[in-house]
Structure 1
Amino acid sequence: MQLKNIFRKKVTDKQKPKKSKLREWGDAILFAVVASTIIRGLLFSAYAIPSGSMEGTLLTGDYLFVSKINYGPRMPFTPLAIPFTESTVYGIKTYWDGIKLPYMRLPGLSEVKKGDIVVFNKPEEADPQYDRPVDARTNLIKRCQATAGDTLSIMNAQVYVNGKAVPNAPKAQTSYSVTTDGNDINPQALRDMHIEVTQQTSVNQFEMIIPTEQLATFKKFGNIKNVVPVIQVAGEYDPQVFPHNSAFKWNQDNFGPLVMPKRGMAIALNDSTMALYRRAIELYEGNKVTVSGKDVLINGKKATRYTFKMNYYWMMGDNRHNSLDSRFWGYVPEDHVVGKAMITWMSIDSTGTFLDKVRWNRILKAIK
């Protein structure tokens, strides 16, 4: 015999409160916003490539998925912000910097490795005139060439890390000086080979950015007389290049050696190390630095040594002569790292016709 529980109140359909259509839509939108915010903040984000600094590895018009779990999701510095927007819209901030949290990152699958293609916030915008918290700074994408503790040099455009040459990316690009016999080069051929003419200095003299895989074919053109790499001379000082100090006769093709700061690494403070590392000590690690004669004061106290709190990385574009990167604004601190570029999920060629606007061969392509 079945017994009834007399203490349990039977709930009928009439007793259940019925949600209005507006309430149902509101709940659905709230759930979607919360879920997408968690996914975007902790798992991955989508980004677009707006410029050619990583060509031909990544092309202008590529749309990427960037993993945040590889290096560990970075917690927001400014937690109060309008989701899914840029840091400023029409000059208006989309975040409130009244609350600023310290740098914190959840555990990840790995550390940043040499050769990784990394999305990070632009270190140059740590300068006071920008007045932006780290996570509101411009996002950039480059390839990591050196990690914390490494010694990096560039000799005749070849990168060396810890004394060993770093293999160039398979689709790396750089500038070449091209001499012709005076006859015009077919413009359609240049477009088909993705060769960019950056300047013409005379009737038969050009500077061009040529993809590595097209170089041998281009040299065989009947009107091409000579093709040589454009390389700045060693010892020629370029004031645009880090550390922007004439004591270091460095340029974008001949640079260093420079040691990447590492968490726990201590350095002596002198004229040379201050030129190379003051930016990190002051702007990235939040110290007040003053120099009085030969004395260095950090937060008002005389110091002869400094120990770094973070790891730092060296990032460069694969399109070497069309990339503003670490050669110009220095190393990237770990708190600026956003994530690792993993896959191209869409690619749009703005110069293509209606039928070939989409680069079908790049859809769902792994990034290397």
Structure 2
Amino acid sequence: MSFQSILGNFALILFVLTISTGIVWFLDTFVLAKRRRAAADAALAAYDARNAKLSAEGIKVEESKRHEIEENILRQPLWVEYSGSFFPVIAMVFFLRSFLYEPFKIPSSSMLPTLFVGDLILVNKFTYGIRLPILNKKVIEINNPQRGDVMVFKYPEDPSVDYIKRVVGVPGDKVVYKNKKLLINGNEMTYQAMPEFLDEEHLSYFKQYSENLTGVSHRILNDEQSPAFVRDPHNFPKRENCTYNIDGFSCVVPEGEYFMMGDNRDNSLDSRYWGFVPDQNIVGKAFFIWMNLGNIKRIGSFQ
């Protein structure tokens, strides 16, 4: 399942706005404001000298215009005023979404029953390390993705697109998917049948199970009408690490990469088709639904 952050490459837009408004704010604070103050002082001095001369000649002067002259000269141009006003807000938003939390919207059903279409989620940007915005280069190590994490990442075939899936395999794991059941390093995951799930978007019922993924329990869906084998896997990098057969597939996860799958197992284009996710593609860990305009009961944390 793919989904886009607001306005596409919003991080780059915010970065440009932060830099441009910051430059204007800096110039105004340390250069332009001082020039306006000096110009105002000179104009007031000239005004006071003129009034003093007129008073000495016995002519009545109007003192009320002094404040008006000062105010007009000190007033910021509109482009400076707006830039200075927006700079701290834009800078704060840029910092929050670059290093702390970023919002995303779920547009498709590949993560059902965990995430629904229309869920607005928050992604923790620092769980897996501090990364430079725009470049997405990790500069501080913190934690590594664990099996069972719901993770946002740059789609390997098009890094401009953000994807969300569940981490199934970490570096060095042998991931086997046989007859719609996972085996990790030779250990079969445990499954518990649950009531059938109604996909309201497609008005279809699907088999629902609780899957224990090496200690992380979460729900998955299976479509009995879909085969277990992978149709037309792509020619992705390190594809030689995978073998495909009529029952499913087997993959050994390379060092520094991850194997991702959607919880809606038979309706998800994931690592089974397009391969592994390199560490440099990681965006963050999804952890909270902060709004769903169609169903406010969806608000809350999820596994």
Tell me, yes or no, if the aligned pair for 2:130 and 2:142 is still in contact at 8 Å: no
Q: Which residue of 1 aligns with 2:148?
A: 115
Deviations 1:72-105 (A, max 9, x none): 23324xx5xxxxxxxxxxxxxxxxxxxxx6x620
What SS is found at the alignment partner of 2:82? helix
Distance 1:317 1:171, change over 3 A: farther
Paired residues for 1:7-26 under 5 Å = 18-20=74-76, 22=78, 23-26=80-83
| Aligned-residue identity in percent | 29
Distance 1:38 1:242, change over 3 A: same
Q: Which residue of 2 aligns with 1:361?
A: 297
d(CA) in 1 for partners of 2:169, 2:260:
7
Structure with max Cα Rg: 2
Does residue 1:106 correspond to 2:139, yes or no?
yes
Q: Which residue of 2 aligns with 1:322?
A: 267
Deviations 1:291-313 (A, max 9, x none): xxxxxxxxxxxxxxxxxxxx000
Task: Give unpaired runs (5+ residues) of structure 2.
Answer: 1-39, 42-69, 211-221
Indicate the larger mover: 25-34 or 312-321.
Answer: 25-34
Q: Which residue of 2 aligns with 1:6?
A: none
Q: Which residue of 1 aligns with 2:95?
A: 38
Q: Which residue of 2 aligns with 1:166?
A: 189
Does residue 1:155 correspond to 2:150, yes or no?
no
Tell me, yes or no, if the aligned pair for 1:56 and 1:173 is still in contact at 8 Å: no
- Which of 104, 107, 112 in structure 2 is aligned with 1:55? 112
What SS is found at the alignment partner of 1:115? coil
Distance 1:36 1:144, change over 3 A: same
Distance 1:75 1:248, change over 3 A: same
User: How far apart are residue 360 of structure 1 and its match?
Assistant: 2.2
User: How far apart are residue 34 of structure 1 and its match?
Assistant: 1.6
Task: Give unpaired runs (5+ residues) of structure 1.
Answer: 1-13, 80-100, 126-133, 175-189, 198-207, 214-226, 263-310, 350-358
Aligned length: 220
Distance 1:196 1:333, change over 3 A: farther
What SS is found at the alignment partner of 2:175? strand
d(CA) in 2 for partners of 1:340, 1:26:
33
Deviations 1:9-60 (A, max 9, x none): xxxxx97995538344321201211221121111111000000000110000
- Which of 164, 169, 175 in structure 2 is aligned with 1:146? 169
d(CA) in 2 for partners of 1:237, 1:68:
32
What SS is found at the alignment partner of 2:138? coil
Tell me, yes or no, if the aligned pair for 1:238 and 1:249 is still in contact at 8 Å: no
AA in 1 matched with 2:178: M
Tell me, yes or no, if the aligned pair for 2:191 and 2:209 is still in contact at 8 Å: no
- Which of 233, 249, 254 in structure 1 is aligned with 2:248? 254
TM-score (norm 1): 0.52
- Which of 233, 252, 258 in structure 2 is aligned with 1:240? 233
Q: CA RMSD in A?
A: 3.5
d(CA) in 2 for partners of 1:314, 1:169:
23
User: How far apart are residue 63 of structure 1 and its match?
Assistant: 0.2
d(CA) in 2 for partners of 1:59, 1:330:
24
Distance 1:260 1:107, change over 3 A: same
Q: Which residue of 1 aligns with 2:62?
A: none
Tell me, yes or no, if the aligned pair for 1:142 and 1:316 is still in contact at 8 Å: yes
TM-score (norm 2): 0.62
Q: Which residue of 2 aligns with 1:344?
A: 289
Does residue 1:70 correspond to 2:127, yes or no?
yes
Structure with greater helix share of residues: 2
- Which of 203, 206, 209 in structure 2 is aligned with 1:209? 206
